């Protein structure tokens, strides 16, 4: 299990993380080493074993739809890096 | 001042008017000032909030009201949202984030009149085992300042051990309450998944995360559980089960208790002093009336791989929200993609990026079944083995960590070595069962923790065993000089 430079760049792109050259090299080594260790899982016989997504037996929790106050817009926008009126300001999505 | 009292002691002093909460709180704030330059457990000291809460607590006590937590100085891990008080997750990404709401556990503590003295340091986004991954600064173990306090709730554990707070809240995804509790010689409980609301806990791995107490003794742990446990309609994974009075189960004998000792937790590579301390602890539990028996949980060796696929996968999804738009660090690039990728590249630290990358890989097209679904299937096997063990035993006894606290810097270059320090605590989160760490000895002055594992909603049994063991030993009374 060896992750190539291209694979690391592909993962970084999927995760939307800009990596430095030094990080690309380091993560390529470290992730390869970790995945090699995790390959032990392939030895385990899991025929007919269903996957567990969470550990308690709760399913599809529903509640009545009700009207309740939400937080004031100003409180939410107080943390915005860039704000315009009652909106978050972002870079153009379509050029 | 040097006052170090438990919740139940302080609560009695407050009710008997031997001390006021303002006096008590000032004492703890003074202690924080004194020891903080050495241990660095706090990201934010909330002295103004604390004194205001203490004044209100005194009024409430004077009026004959209040709970066992009224007026008690407590530290909160900086991953739990506190309205109007900066909540950083010890991350550059959230360095200036001020939550507009309180976590459910904070609403509960506030309603009980608790006093928040500070927000405690942690590994960035709770990812780590030593608090060295804090993007702000590392925390030092008060038992040896050159060593780590464990993690990720290292600041919370140190705050309690060094007398900066009477107790603390932490969070535990793979051992983050229990392992630092063991490393600092305090009590730490990870409740059953769903027992405590996660609303307002900054998400790391949502199927594994739980909030829980760190305290000086088992009675205090039970008092905090009484305050924070329970169903919350804002957390759809919290369980609608009634909350018992956890202080009622504290009995000093273990007659008739059946305890399993899973051999896979007593592994090669375990420090000999830890093995010896565990042997002595087993003997003590037998003297208290318990019957101990060796047992086996054969899938245990796979827990590390299962955890480090599932937790990073969930983290990669949870941490997708940090986009530099709504809150947090934001890089102003020329385009949307550049802004997003540089925000995340600059804003996350090395371990967080490593885990997001690992999780993204395990979830990516072509690898999803081989890694993520495979890990989920093995998770089922691990869970079944715990279920089977609890048909035979009331609880399982293991060390909390295979070693005593390691040196600062010792494992930072080797992710796998670091991950292995959680090898005894990870399986518990995978199965969703509760686990508690209690002080169980020292090796050359460095703490050793014993972990007690119970079945789903078995907290009362865990607390009873922990209490009986504590009453029969002196470890929890040993105070550290800072």
- Here the ipTM equals 0.96
Q: Would you call B380 and A78 a contact, using CB atoms and an 8 Å cutoff? A: no
The DSSP code for B217 is S
Q: Would you call B306 and A42 a contact, using CB atoms and an 8 Å cutoff? A: no
In this prediction, what percent of chain B has a pLDDT beyond 90? 96
Q: Check: CB of residue B101 under 8 Å from CB of residue B83.
A: yes
Distance from CA of A91 to the nearest CA of B (A): 5
For residue B321, cis peptide bond before it (omega within 30 degrees of 0): no
**Rounded CA gap, B35 and B1, in Å?**
12
Q: Would you call B380 and A49 a contact, using CB atoms and an 8 Å cutoff? A: yes
Res. B267 pLDDT band, cuts 50 70 90: confident
**Rounded CA gap, B251 and B214, in Å?**
20
Q: Is it the case that residue B222 has pLDDT exceeding 60?
A: yes
**Window from A3-17, B103-117, B263-277, B430-444 with minimum mean pLDDT:** B263-277
Q: Would you call B456 and A56 a contact, using CB atoms and an 8 Å cutoff? A: yes
Q: Give average pLDDT by consecutive 10-residue segment, chain A, 95 residues.
A: 91 98 96 96 96 87 89 95 95 84
**Rounded CA gap, B121 and B39, in Å?**
10
Distance from CA of A4 to the nearest CA of B (A): 13
Please give the interface size between A and B, counted as residue pairs whose CB atoms are below 8 Å apart.
167
Q: Check: CB of residue B315 under 8 Å from CB of residue B359.
A: yes
A-chain residues within 8 Å CB-CB of B345? 17-20
| Rounded average pLDDT over B467-477 | 97
What is the reported pTM? 0.97
**Rounded CA gap, A28 and B395, in Å?**
42
A-chain residues within 8 Å CB-CB of B433? 55
Q: Check: CB of residue B114 under 8 Å from CB of residue B371.
A: no
Which of A37, A46, A55 is facing B383, going by the closest CB pair? Answer: A55
Question: Burial, A62: exposed, middle or buried (Cβ in 10 Å; 0-12, 13-18, 19+)?
Answer: exposed
Res. B262 pLDDT band, cuts 50 70 90: very high
What is the predicted pLDDT for the residue at A17? 98
Question: Burial, B110: exposed, middle or buried (Cβ in 10 Å; 0-12, 13-18, 19+)?
Answer: middle
**Rounded CA gap, B425 and B399, in Å?**
9
**Rounded CA gap, A86 and A71, in Å?**
13
What pLDDT, in 10s, does the model give residues B6-38?
A: 999 999 999 999 999 999 999 999 999 999 999
**Rounded CA gap, B127 and B205, in Å?**
10
Which of B192, B237, B360 is facing A11, going by the closest CB pair? Answer: B360
Residue with tokens 């009362």: B460
What pLDDT, in 10s, does the model give residues B98-141?
A: 999 999 999 999 999 999 999 999 999 999 999 999 999 999 99
A-chain residues within 8 Å CB-CB of B193? 54-56
What is the predicted pLDDT for the residue at B1? 42
Q: Would you call A41 and B330 a contact, using CB atoms and an 8 Å cutoff? A: no
What is the predicted pLDDT for the residue at A59? 82
Of B225, B241, B212, B205, nearest to B430 by C-alpha is: B205
For the sheet containing B435-443, what is the strand order? B42-45, B115-120, B73-77, B167-172, B210-215, B187-190, B435-443, B446-453, B395-399, B258-262, B291-295
Q: Check: CB of residue B67 under 8 Å from CB of residue B114.
A: no
Q: Would you call A31 and B236 a contact, using CB atoms and an 8 Å cutoff? A: no
Q: Is it the case that residue B209 has pLDDT exceeding 60?
A: yes
What is the predicted pLDDT for the residue at A94? 83
Q: Please give the positions of B annotated as active site.
A: 77, 152, 176
B-chain residues within 8 Å CB-CB of A82? 330, 332
For chain B, give the mean pLDDT. 97
Res. B210 pLDDT band, cuts 50 70 90: very high
Task: Choose the mutation target among A33, A52, A71 for the interface with B, i.e. most B CBs under 10 Å.
Answer: A52
Of B386, B76, B311, nearest to B212 by C-alpha is: B76
Distance from CA of B128 to the nearest CA of A (A): 15
**Dihedral sign for Cα atoms in the order B22, B25, B27, B29:** negative
Q: Is it the case that residue B2 has pLDDT exceeding 70?
A: no
What is the predicted pLDDT for the residue at B189? 98
Residue B387's alpha-carbon distances to B161, B380, B393, B398, in angstroms, are 34, 10, 10, 17
**Rounded CA gap, B470 and B90, in Å?**
33
Q: Would you call A33 and B416 a contact, using CB atoms and an 8 Å cutoff? A: yes
What is the predicted pLDDT for the residue at A57? 79
What pLDDT, in 10s, does the model give residues B369-419?
A: 999 999 999 999 999 999 999 999 999 999 999 999 999 999 998 998 899
What pLDDT, in 10s, does the model give residues B333-370?
A: 999 999 999 999 999 999 999 999 999 999 999 999 99
**CB contact B368 to A (< 8 Å):** no
């Amino acid at each position: 299990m060896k992750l190539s430079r291209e694979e690391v760049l592909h993962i970084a792109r999927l995760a939307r993380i800009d990596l430095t050259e030094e990080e690309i090299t380091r993560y390529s080594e470290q992730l390869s080493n970790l995945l090699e260790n995790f390959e032990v899982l392939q030895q385990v016989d899991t025929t007919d074993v269903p996957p567990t997504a969470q550990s308690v037996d709760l399913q599809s929790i529903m509640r009545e739809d009700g009207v309740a106050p939400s937080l004031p817009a100003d409180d939410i926008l107080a943390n915005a890096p860039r704000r315009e009126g009652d909106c978050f300001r972002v870079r153009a999505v379509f050029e | 001042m040097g006052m170090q009292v438990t919740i139940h002691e302080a609560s009695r002093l407050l009710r008997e008017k031997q001390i006021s909460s303002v006096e008590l709180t000032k004492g703890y704030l003074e202690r924080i000032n004194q020891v903080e330059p050495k241990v660095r457990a706090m990201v934010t000291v909330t002295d103004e909030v604390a004194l205001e809460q203490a004044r209100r607590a005194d009024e409430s006590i004077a009026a004959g009201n209040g709970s066992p937590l009224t007026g008690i100085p407590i530290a909160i891990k900086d991953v739990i949202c506190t309205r109007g008080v900066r909540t950083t997750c010890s991350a550059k990404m959230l360095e200036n984030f001020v939550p507009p709401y309180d976590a459910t556990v904070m609403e509960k503590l506030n309603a009980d009149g608790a006093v928040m003295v500070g927000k405690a340091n942690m590994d960035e986004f709770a990812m780590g085992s030593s608090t060295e991954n804090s993007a702000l600064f590392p925390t030092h173990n008060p038992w040896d300042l050159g060593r780590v306090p464990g993690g990720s709730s290292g600041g919370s554990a140190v705050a309690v051990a060094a007398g900066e707070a009477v107790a603390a809240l932490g969070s535990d995804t793979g051992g983050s309450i229990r392992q630092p509790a063991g490393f600092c010689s305090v009590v730490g409980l990870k409740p059953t998944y769903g027992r405590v609301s996660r609303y307002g806990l900054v998400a790391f791995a949502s199927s594994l995360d739980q909030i829980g107490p760190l305290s000086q003794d088992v009675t205090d742990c039970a008092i905090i559980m009484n305050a924070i446990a329970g169903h919350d309609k804002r957390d759809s994974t919290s369980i609608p089960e009634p909350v018992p009075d956890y202080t009622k189960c504290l009995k000093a004998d273990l007659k008739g208790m059946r305890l399993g000792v899973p051999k896979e937790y007593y592994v090669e590579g375990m420090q000999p002093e830890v093995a010896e301390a565990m042997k002595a602890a087993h003997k003590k539990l037998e003297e208290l009336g318990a019957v101990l028996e060796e047992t086996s949980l054969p899938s245990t060796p796979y827990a590390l791989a299962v955890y480090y696929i599932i937790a990073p996968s969930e983290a990669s999804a949870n941490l997708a929200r940090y986009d530099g738009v709504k809150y947090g660090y934001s890089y102003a690039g020329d385009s949307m993609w550049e802004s997003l990728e540089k925000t995340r590249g600059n804003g996350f630290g090395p371990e967080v990026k490593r885990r997001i990358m690992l999780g993204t890989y395990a979830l990516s097209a072509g690898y999803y079944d081989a890694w993520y679904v495979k890990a989920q299937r093995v998770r089922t096997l691990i869970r079944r083995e715990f279920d089977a063990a609890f048909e035979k035993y009331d609880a399982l006894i293991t060390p909390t960590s295979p070693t005593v606290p390691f040196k600062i810097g010792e494992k930072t270059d080797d992710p796998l070595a670091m991950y292995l320090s959680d090898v005894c605590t990870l399986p518990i989160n995978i199965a969703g069962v509760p686990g508690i760490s209690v002080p169980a000895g020292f090796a050359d002055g460095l703490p050793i923790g014993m972990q007690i594992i119970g079945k789903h909603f078995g907290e009362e049994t865990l607390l009873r065993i922990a209490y009986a063991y504590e009453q029969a030993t002196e470890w929890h009374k040993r105070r550290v000089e800072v």
